[in-house]
A and B are shown apart, each in its own frame.
Chain A
Amino acid sequence: MSEHHHQKKTPAQKTFELLSALLTDNPIYKSIFRTGYPSTLLKQMAVMRSSFYMHIFPTKVGEHGLRLRYSWCMGGITFFLFLLLALTGILLMFYYVPEEHRAFNDMKDLRFMVPFGVILRNMHRWAAHAMVLAVMLHMMRVFYTGSYKAPRQLNWVVGVLLLLFTLLLSFTGYLLPWDQLGFWAVTVGTNMASASPLVGYEGPFHELLGVQVDNDIRFAIIGGTRIGPNALVRAYVWHCVGIPLVATLLMVFHFWRIRKDGFSGPL
């Protein structure tokens, strides 16, 4: 390194080099960061392959795929928002119990008692809205660039399913504060299910299957004839466990498929 420099080093430079050598020139550091700082092309290739976090990305990318005016970065933003939501969501779970008489009071505690509770809940809420928007914009970008075409048809289908699961994630979370806003929004939303043909008690031809208010599809979804404690627990479990699990599996497939097909680009 030092033979490149003809000038004398300042004390600050010397201290910096000593400190960085102390930090990096030891077996513990080397066991974690195997390639060292990627200063050469070879190391740049190696770091992408040998790091668990980096190996989701290719070692080299086509220049067009880097342009923000092409990709809008919307897929990445959607995934990053999902990670932020998982993080803030887990922290919120420490302070929240999905019980009819407690849920709303836990919201009040988050606002007035829990340290950083306000910023925690605000971030979770706004990130959720942003993720719905980002996933829609991502779909539009993929459509307008024709990136759903062969060989990526199946990944588009998985993407549509991920859009659906994002909406369901947001919708199930809407009920959890147990306030008037969420309660009635989810009442309106789930009432739609009772209009399903055959399986909803208000839908066409429901008599054919003997479907009534207490055995129709809406009853199965909310665990009662109206939104109550059962619906709250169900929304909570779907929101925190069920849907994130399914969405994660679909995301794993989605990203794996992108790695196999490469970033979309001109043929």
Chain B
Amino acid sequence: MEQEFRSDKSGYMLMNKPGYPRVPSWPNLVWVIFLMMLFITILLWGVSFLAYAPLEEMAEWAKTPNPAKAPWYFIGLQELLVYFDPWIAGVMLPNQILIGLILIPYVDITPTEQGHYRWSQRRFAVAYFTFGIAFWATLIFVGQLLRGPSWQIYWPIIDYDLTGHSWTREGIPLKQGGLKLASLSTGTGMALLIGFFSIGMILPFMVTKLFPKSNVVQGLDRYLKELGYIKYFVVQSHVLMMTATVVKIILRLGFNIKYIIETPWFKI
């Protein structure tokens, strides 16, 4: 830790060095904060004058809306329910996202790259994080704006004839997927899952051995050496988990595969 903190030659932040341009907080910072408070208050007031907070009918246990949607910030997880059982989509994945976010500073190997939007030394980290954010935003977009009754895709603008059935009623199909979903046999599924994670773990090392001359691969080689095995394992297992989530979505949408592994106790 000490070494990381002192990896800069002097060990100090530039702004703490003598001669760095610093200005008194009054009025420079206080002014920005005051304007921000004023701006946010006016904006919020304006929005609240124009748009009512939603209020539907009184809660009723016997009247299930179709679909019943989670708040927008959790709807990505609800959208994942199409592809995973609830114990993965609603419990394991959100926990893993939080753990992964917490671990970010502890797997970092470019401690001096901070304080500016300059990503040339941290291309992989930025690309991985951005993909995660985009993935999360896409799930929210699909779940919030495209999903309608029976959690089917309803495109915006098109006026669908729901014949007044906005509540769930048995025997009245609104818009059925009509898909026959299949699952892989246990052997195939196990082989696929174990194969995916073990090959995924050693793939970067194989690439460095196979194409040692390419510039990109030499960069990868340096990155792997700096990372060390423990940090590599932490990073790569999260990369593989996110990739596996995307692969499962592709398998479900493209090949109608419901489960990769089916056991009496759990299904993946």
Contacts and interface: CB of A to CB of B under 8 A. Distances in A.
Nearest to B92: A197
B117 A144 contact: yes
Nearest to A164: B98
A253 interface: no
A189 to B, nearest CB: 5
Q: Which secondary structure dominates where chain A touches chain B?
A: helix
A191 B55 contact: no
A179 B57 contact: yes
Interface stretch (A2-10, A55-63, A243-251): A55-63
A150 B51 contact: no
Contacts of A65: 15, 29
Interface stretch (A11-19, A22-30, A73-81, A233-241): A73-81
A140 interface: yes
A39 to B, nearest CB: 10
Contacts of A122: 47-49, 51-53
Contacts of A152: 105
Contacts of B72: 129
A41 interface: yes
A189 B89 CA distance: 11
B91 A167 contact: no
Interface string A28-66: 000000000010010011011000001001111111111
B21 interface: yes
A76 B47 CA distance: 20
A127 B44 CA distance: 7
Given A121-B53, A146-B122, A178 B59 contact: yes
Contacts of B110: 146, 149
Contact of B25 (A58, A157, A180, A264): A58
B116 interface: yes
Contacts of A132: 73
Contact of B133 (A119, A140, A203, A205): A140
Given A125-B53, A185-B68, A265-B115, A66 B23 contact: yes
Given A48-B24, A266-B114, 12 more contacts: A59-B25, A84-B40, A104-B58, A119-B48, A180-B57, A184-B64, A187-B68, A197-B87, A197-B91, A197-B266, A202-B87, A266-B14
16 contacts: A41-B24, A48-B25, A60-B23, A61-B28, A63-B23, A118-B52, A122-B52, A124-B53, A125-B54, A129-B72, A151-B5, A157-B105, A179-B56, A192-B90, A195-B86, A204-B266
